[in-house]
Amino acid sequence: MDIHQILKQLPHRYPFILVDRVLSIEKGKSIKALKNVTINEPFFQGHFPHRPVMPGVLMLEALAQAAALLAFDTLGSSPSDEMVYYFAGIDGARFKRPVEPGDQLTLEVELLRMKAGIFKFKARALVGDELTVEAELTCAMRAIA
């Protein structure tokens, strides 16, 4: 899945779209995607000017966006003006390695369970073979009233 297909599935736009490419997706099971980290990212201006590091919350957001792509693929649907996909929880988040400009984050997300619009995922991101972050993510699809 290239960026054009991703933009059709996610409502996020610059500077908040954090998935550049989907390498593989197994319906109802898992997704593997990429986030290319460049010095041009707006957050590097303030985090930190002397030693740029990608904020951990944005690594988790990138994983949540990959999880959303997996959820929409699993359901065979796309986002709409009547539905929103919310981040509902983060459990066991652990940061293992800083992510710097020039790194390529490999986002790996596995669907653990889904019920009544609530999704639970096991997620991790790597740079090369090095683990950068891991967590269990809970997301929810809800109709907009």
Residues recognised as catalytic: 47
Q: Residue length, the chain?
A: 145
Q: Shortest CA distance to 23 belongs to which of 119, 113, 132, 126?
A: 126
Place of tokens 């997301």: 139
CA torsion angle 85 110 130 38 (round to 10): -30
